[in-house]
Amino acid sequence: MEEKMKVMGVVGSGQMGSGIAQLGVMDGLDVWLVDTDPDALVRATKSISSSIQKFVSKGQLSQAMGTDAPRRLRCTSNLKDLHSADIIVEAIVESEDVKKKLFSELDKITKASAILASNTSSISITRLASATSRPCQVIGMHFMNPPPLMKLVEVIRGADTSDETFRATKALAERFGKTVVCSQDYAGFIVNRILMPMINEAFFTLYTGVATKEDIDAGMKLGTNQPMGPLQLADFIGLDVCLSIMKVLHTGLGDSKYAPCPLLVQYVDAGRLGKKRGIGVFDYRRVPESVKPNARL
């Protein structure tokens, strides 16, 4: 199935969808990028073009491919444009209900042989598959942020995912230059099962006044040799995304140790969603120190 893949659909053109679409066009696929928000499509087109130019200027992509790749990208708000896609990667909001509705629509619109993949960070692939009539062709394809740079893709098999779907999805990720790890379909899979409780614990450490946000991040960065601290990482991922994943772990694994930290909940309630909103745990807006709000709500 994989060798015939020529057209990829990506639904959701936010941080992840735009990066996944970029990988597709840089690899020579024709890509349809879908978003209900036309402004998000405009932002995605700009960020994809500028990121492709960076690959060219660093010598990681040929000039010819750098010119050709953006032309392979087509943006739309009409899901029906995905009718010719061989694989669709969903990267919309982390909500089971919204994703299920989309999978049900994709099932009706796309060709019978198409693979329906989800970039979900934590939601059950088996349950998303149950919204379609083709559960053997539904799979998790979990890219890391930012997709063009991060080397890993977690591939998650639902209860009914076929070997053929698994092989084709793995081969596509490898074609994008990624290393694939395979996870069973349990909440959080591998990476977020381990990462999110660490981030949540960093919030508890801040919430209970153990240390300042700067010292928590410096401690973890320098003390455990990570490229950035857990609070900054949460800001980069999006605090709303982190909260959704903690809720999925809490519900899916049924253990109180996964209960989201109240401070994380409060930041999300306040709209402090992280770098994408200019403010999360840290403030990314260029405002004078004197008018910055107190970092601890």
Ligand X SMILES: NC(=O)c1ccc[n+]([C@@H]2O[C@H](COP(=O)([O-])OP(=O)(O)OC[C@H]3O[C@@H](n4cnc5c(N)ncnc54)[C@H](O)[C@@H]3O)[C@@H](O)[C@H]2O)c1
* Cα angle 43, 45, 49; round to 5: 120
* 14 belongs to an annotated ligand binding site: yes
Distances (CA, A) of 220 to 139, 211, 224, 234: 34, 12, 5, 13
Instruction: Answer yes or no: are the C-beta atoms of 102 and 34 closer than 8 Å.
Output: no
In whole angstroms, how close is the CB of 40 to ligand X at the nearest point? 4
Binding of residue 156 to ligand X (CB under 6 A)? no
Task: Give CA–CA dist 17/33, Å, rounded.
Answer: 8
In whole angstroms, how close is the CB of 281 to ligand X at the nearest point? 15
Binding of residue 22 to ligand X (CB under 6 A)? no
Residue from 5, 9, 26, 35 in contact with ligand X (CB under 6 A)? 35
Task: Give CA–CA dist 12/170, Å, rounded.
Answer: 21
Binding of residue 88 to ligand X (CB under 6 A)? no
* 214 belongs to an annotated ligand binding site: no
Binding of residue 128 to ligand X (CB under 6 A)? no
Q: 90, 119, 154, 244: which is the annotated catalytic residue?
A: 154
In 3-state terms, what secondary structure has residue 69?
helix
Binding of residue 135 to ligand X (CB under 6 A)? no
Active site residue 142: yes
Of the candidates 87, 138, 146, 44, the residue with the CA atom closest to the CA atom of residue 33 = 44
In whole angstroms, how close is the CB of 10 to ligand X at the nearest point? 10
Active site residue 121: yes
Instruction: Answer yes or no: are the C-beta atoms of 193 and 179 closer than 8 Å.
Output: no
Q: 183, 192, 200, 244: which is the annotated catalytic residue?
A: 192
Describe the chain by its helix, strand, coil percentages, rounded to 5.
50, 15, 35
Q: Which CB, 115 or 273, lies closer to ligand X?
A: 273
Q: Which CB, 162 or 282, lies closer to ligand X?
A: 282
Q: Which CB, 14 or 229, lies closer to ligand X?
A: 14
Active site residue 154: yes
Of the candidates 175, 174, 194, 172, the residue with the CA atom closest to the CA atom of residue 183 = 194
Residue from 91, 106, 116, 206 in contact with ligand X (CB under 6 A)? 91
Task: Give CA–CA dist 33/73, Å, rounded.
Answer: 7
Binding of residue 120 to ligand X (CB under 6 A)? yes
Task: Give CA–CA dist 141/290, Å, rounded.
Answer: 44
Residue from 22, 45, 110, 119 in contact with ligand X (CB under 6 A)? 119
Residue from 86, 94, 107, 185 in contact with ligand X (CB under 6 A)? 94
In whole angstroms, how close is the CB of 50 to ligand X at the nearest point? 17
In 3-state terms, what secondary structure has residue 79?
helix
Residues that bind ligand X (CB under 6 A): 11-17, 34-37, 40, 91-94, 98, 102, 119-121, 142-143, 145, 237-238, 241
Binding-site residue numbers for CoA are 51, 58, 121
By annotation, the residues acting in catalysis are 121, 142, 154, 192
